[in-house]
Structure formats: C-alpha cells, structure tokens
C-alpha cells in the first residue's frame, strides 16, 4: 500500500457517514488489543475553544519533559495534523502501515455495521500513541461527546470548554440539550473542568457531575497585560488559575502571557490551567513549565496573523455565531482604527445568516467565496445578509477562493473567515503550508445521533 492509497481508503470510509455510538469503536479497539487502556488521557469537549485548549495543555505538559500525544480534528491541510506526538506529525510511513493494519481488522465487520472514518482514525491514533509510548494524550472529541468515538477512554480529567450553538441537527436545539451531549464525557469519580458560563447549560453539567460523583471545577477568566504584537494595539491574554466552585476572581492569581491572540483565550487558558491544577498530584507541573508552555503554544488558523508582502492577513476558522463574534471583537481590539477586506465563506449547514450579521459590519469590503467543500454555502446566498448588515460596503461574489485572494492582493488588511475549510485552502494557496490535497478528508455526511 502506498500513502496515496492509504488516504484514498480513509476517504472511502466517508461512505459510511457519521454513525454516533460507541459499540463499533469498542469492538474495533478490542480487536487490536485495546491500546487506549495503556494510555493516560485528558479528554476535551466543548463547542468552541477545544483546539486551543488542547494545544495549551499539550505545550505545557511537553515542557515538563513528558512525551505527549495530541489528537484533534478537523485538519487544515494534511491528515497528519490530527495525530501528533510532541507536535511532530505522524509520518506518511506510519499512516500507511496503520491503515493497512486497520484494513485487515475491518474485514470482520459487516457492511451495515462498518466503522466510520472517525471511528477508524480514533482507534488508529490510540494504537499509534501506545506504540510511541506516550506519557499523556490530549484527546479532543470530534462532535458532541456522549456518543463520540473518543468516549471509550477513561481519562484523568474530563474537560468541557464551553457550550454554545453549533451542530444543532446532531446535538439539540437548546444549550441544555447540547450541554447534555457534551457532559456525556463525564466519568464516575473523574474530575471535570469547565469554562461554561451559560447558567442552564452549566446546571446540566453540574447535575451530571454530581450524579457520577465527579468533582467539578469552574475555570475563571483572566486579566490582560499589554504586549506588542502584530496589531496596532496588541495585547495578549494572560491566564490565571482557578479554584473549585464558586468561580474565582482575578485577585491573587498567577499571570502568564499566552502567545495565542484573542480575548477568548483567557477563558481557554484558565480552563487549561485549572485542569493542570486539578491533576497536580498525578502529574506535577512547575510554574516555569506553565509559563514556557503558554508563551510558545501554537494553533494555526485561529486568529492567526500573517504578514506577507506588506499585507496583514488574519486567518480565523470561525464557523458559528459565537466564533464569529469572537473574531469581530478581536478585530476591534487589535486593529481599532482599521477595517479589513473580508473574505467570507461558510458551510450551508451552519448559521451563516448570523455570521454575516456579525462579521459584515466590521469590514470595509466584502468578498464572498465558496469553501471548496461539498457542503459549501452558495456565496450568492450570503449577499443579502451582508448587505443588510453593512449597506455601505461593496460586496463581490467570487468563483473560488483563489479569485478572492487575487482580488484582495492589493488590500493592506485582509481577514479570511467562516470555515476551517477555507482557512486550510488559503494556507495552501498562500504557501503557508505544504500542499497536501487532503482537505477533502474532512467531508462527512452525518446520520441521526442515535
């Protein structure tokens, strides 16, 4: 098997959709010796901020000298982004070998019960992390939590970053319903850490935690300290530790500079630091390791500022209203005297009308583009919402992202947002990432949540 054949095999697994439930994942893991039982995990769920929180945890624990696995999704460009050890991407050789091994195991499944793409790569990642003798794995859920394939593990801690609206067709139409799905990762007697601040959603998490005798820690918010960066008035978030309920105040807390931009990162960092604090007796972490980990953490495609050919580009994968609001707030904070040329593309199954209402007002010009996904929203559909939100901004519909980037090449300040798909494609077109042609592996066609 070649690497390209391995990637094609994974792509073909998308025919089996997204069948929510744990039976297949448990069985598949069992057939290869339950590698997850040889590993220690921190399991991270939440609507937004999962990736950033995972990146912070990985960076901090790596600073302690641990060998740390990182499993996240989706990828921006290369499939290998999903499976990393000490921030080194899994090699093409290992992907090819593991896919070949999984192929043999999958022969024991019927067509009706065949594991999905995400189930297969989750178990494949567990096997790889066990082979790599990882001391700790930071494990991000794919979708929801309760029935997500990652939920076959018993972690050291269960983390729920926040509860906001996204994937309602799978997780529910109210925040308490969504919270119930996220809280499905809570295990008996395993500590829970959350940054959730919506009272009804938090009450659901609290009830589930109490029912399972799982100690609950609420992460607080952090203060900001000024720091020079890529914007006109850059400040970087500063994280603080948290205590058990009630939520902490800022007084008397340690402060750490975070390399990731955005006001929202103070919450994500507080969640990460609360998790580290809760697990101190099991995995000691020094303040020096925390400081270095947060100072050097990297997470591409999320408020990523790129200076290229005298042009400032802000790349952000905001794909739901909460993410869009975070981006809008960040643009006003870091670039208070400038409005960008906005390149916007969304998926048709997202709340793109709300995203247009939030992002269009911060733009001087608007360029609407398809995302390059089968699930893309027709950019023509976004025109009216953008025009209503910002009547004075010229609006251009582009055939593709390449055309949008060409038409904004002379703009001094460009923001690109709406989907991680469009951010990943931009990173390839702008030569910020090697060409991989593997973004289509992010495609999936879901079924009901079961």
Q: What is the predicted pLDDT for the residue at 168?
A: 53
Q: What is the predicted pLDDT for the residue at 155?
A: 98
152: number of CA atoms within 13 Å, CB side? 22
* Nearest alpha carbon to residue 302 among 406, 161, 181: 161
Residues 401 and 405: their CA atoms lie apart, in Å, by 6
Residues 247 and 38: their CA atoms lie apart, in Å, by 34
Contact criterion met (CB below 8 Å) for 343 and 367: yes
Q: What is the predicted pLDDT for the residue at 157?
A: 98
Which class is domain 3-296? alpha beta
Which class is domain 304-432? alpha beta
Q: What is the predicted pLDDT for the residue at 437?
A: 61
Residue spans per domain, the chain: 3-296, 304-432
Low-confidence ranges of the chain (pLDDT < 50): 170, 223-252, 445-450
pTM recorded for the entire structure: 0.87
- DSSP annotation of 254 reads -
Q: What are phi and psi of 193, to 5 degrees?
A: -125, 135
Q: What is the predicted pLDDT for the residue at 237?
A: 42
Local structure of 342: helix, strand or coil: strand
Task: Count the residues in the chain.
Answer: 450
Residues 399 and 382: their CA atoms lie apart, in Å, by 14
pLDDT digits (tens, 9 = 90+) for 193-215: 999 989 999 999 999 999 999 99
First to last CA, the chain: 35
Give the H or E element holding residue 217.
strand 216-218
Contact criterion met (CB below 8 Å) for 156 and 279: yes
Local structure of 248: helix, strand or coil: coil
Local structure of 43: helix, strand or coil: strand
Contacting residues for 237 by C-beta, under 8 A, at least 6 apart: 222, 224, 258, 260, 261, 262, 263, 265, 266, 269
Buried b (16+ CB within 10 A) or exposed e, 293-305: bbeebebbbbbbb
């Amino acid at each position: 098997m070649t690497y390209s054949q391995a990637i094609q095999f994974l792509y073909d697994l998308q025919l089996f959709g997204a069948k929510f439930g744990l039976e297949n994942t448990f069985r598949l893991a069992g057939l290869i010796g339950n590698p997850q039982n040889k590993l220690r995990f921190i399991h991270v769920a939440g609507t937004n901020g999962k990736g950033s929180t995972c990146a912070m945890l990985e960076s901090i624990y790596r600073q302690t000298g641990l060998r740390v696995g990182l499993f996240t999704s989706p990828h921006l460009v290369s499939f290998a982004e999903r499976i990393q050890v000490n921030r080194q991407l899994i090699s093409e050789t290992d992907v090819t070998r593991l896919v070949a091994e999984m192929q043999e195991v999958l022969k024991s499944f019927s067509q009706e019960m065949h594991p999905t793409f995400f189930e297969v790569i989750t178990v494949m990642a567990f096997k790889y992390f066990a082979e790599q003798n990882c001391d700790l794995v930071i494990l991000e859920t794919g979708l929801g939590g309760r029935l997500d394939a990652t939920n076959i593990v018993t972690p050291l801690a269960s983390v729920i970053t926040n509860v906001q609206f996204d994937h309602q067709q799978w997780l529910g139409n109210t925040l308490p319903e969504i919270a119930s799905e996220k809280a499905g990762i809570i295990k008996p007697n395993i500590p829970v850490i959350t940054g959730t601040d919506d009272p009804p959603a938090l009450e659901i998490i609290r009830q589930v935690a109490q029912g399972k005798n799982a100690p609950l820690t609420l992460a607080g918010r952090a203060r900001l300290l000024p720091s020079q960066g890529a914007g006109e008035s850059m400040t970087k978030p500063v994280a603080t530790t948290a205590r058990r309920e009630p939520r902490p105040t800022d007084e008397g807390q340690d402060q750490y500079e975070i390399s990731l931009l955005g006001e929202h990162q103070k919450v994500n960092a507080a969640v990460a630091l609360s998790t580290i604090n809760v697990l101190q007796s099991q995995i000691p972490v020094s303040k020096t390791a925390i400081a270095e980990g947060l100072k050097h953490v990297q997470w591409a495609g999320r408020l990523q500022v790129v200076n290229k050919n005298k042009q400032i580009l802000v790349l952000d994968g905001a794909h739901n209203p909460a993410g869009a609001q975070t981006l809008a707030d960040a643009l006003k904070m870091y670039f208070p005297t400038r409005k960008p040329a906005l390149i916007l593309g969304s998926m048709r199954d997202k709340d793109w009308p709300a995203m247009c209402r939030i992002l269009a007002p911060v733009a001087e010009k608007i360029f609407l583009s398809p995302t390059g996904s089968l699930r893309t929203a027709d950019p023509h559909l976004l025109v009216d919402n953008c025009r209503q939100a910002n009547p004075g901004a010229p609006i251009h519909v582009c055939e593709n992202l390449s055309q949008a980037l060409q038409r904004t090449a002379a703009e001094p300040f460009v923001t690109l947002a709406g989907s991680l798909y469009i951010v990943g494609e931009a990173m390839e077109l702008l030569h910020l990432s090697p060409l991989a042609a593997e973004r289509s592996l992010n495609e999936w066609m879901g079924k009901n949540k079961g």
